Amino acid sequence: MTLTSAPGAFSLSRHEGGFTFVEILVVLLVIGIVAAVAALGISPNDRQETRIEASRLADLLEEAAIEAVNRGETLAWSGKDDFYTFWQKADDGTWNEIVSDDLFRGHALQGDIRIDGISVSGAQTAPGKKIVFSPSGVNRPFTITLAGNRAKADISGDVMNRVSVDSHE
């Protein structure tokens, strides 16, 4: 319905059946802003990634200590740069890398995360040196520091095999 008083006079109605260019641009702008906010909220930042990887490793270290007691065997962990490995001590005293167990086989750290430091009983140790889990269940305290680009997380284990994670930047 068009309200006009004479042919060719000003019409108060809009064109039906379409959108203007400006309306389409506004909708696209809103969709872009919503997508950007969603992307920022979904992708974890460096601190979150470092904490997630540290928590994963802490759980594995705690499980390795429990497994050493349950199996009655000496197990160990070692790590260097962006990779870590679990070990099993053989009867002849040699260390064998655990490769057949999905839980304890070697693992690469995610993204830019790397092993930044390892200490056992308060003393810094060389990269690649083993942290040993005894079948007695009593182990030396340790700290493993993981570092991302802008964040760090310390994984600490005590003599009773309680493992915790402390994040910092």
Domain containing residue 62: CATH number: 3.55.40.10
Could you tell me if residue 24 is inside a domain? no
Among 74, 141, 62, residue whose Cα is nearest residue 103: 62
Token pair 């690469």 is found at 108
**Strands 163-168, 131-133: pairing kind:** unpaired
Q: Name the amino acid, one letter, at 39.
A: A
Does 89 map to a domain? Answer: yes
Domain membership of residue 5 (yes or no) is no
CB-count burial class (<10 Å; 0-12, 13-18, 19+) for 55: middle
Q: Which is more confidently placed, 42 or 98?
A: 98
Q: Determine the Cα–Cα distance for residues 140 and 134; give it in Å rounded to an integer.
A: 9
What confidence tens digit (pLDDT) does each residue in 54-85 have? 999 999 999 999 999 999 999 999 999 999 99
141 lies in some domain: yes
Overall domain count for the chain: 1
- In angstroms, the CA 82 to CA 112 distance is 8
Could you give the 3-state DSSP secondary structure of residue 117? strand
pLDDT higher than threshold 80 for residue 7: no
Closest CA to 80 of 134, 121, 125: 125
130: pLDDT strictly greater than 60: yes
Report the pLDDT value the prediction gives residue 32, as an integer from 0 to 100. 83
Residue 157: per-residue pLDDT: 96
Q: Per-residue pLDDT averaged across 16-31, rounded? A: 81
Give the tens place of pLDDT for each residue, 146-159.
999 889 999 999 99
So what's the pLDDT on residue 140? Answer: 96
Q: Read out DSSP for 51-68?
A: HHHHHHHHHHHHHHHHHH
Count of Cβ atoms closer than 10 Å to residue 113 Cβ: 23
In a domain, 93, yes or no: yes
In a domain, 40, yes or no: no
Domain that holds residue 67: 46-168
> 78: closest CA among 151, 140, 127, 119?
127
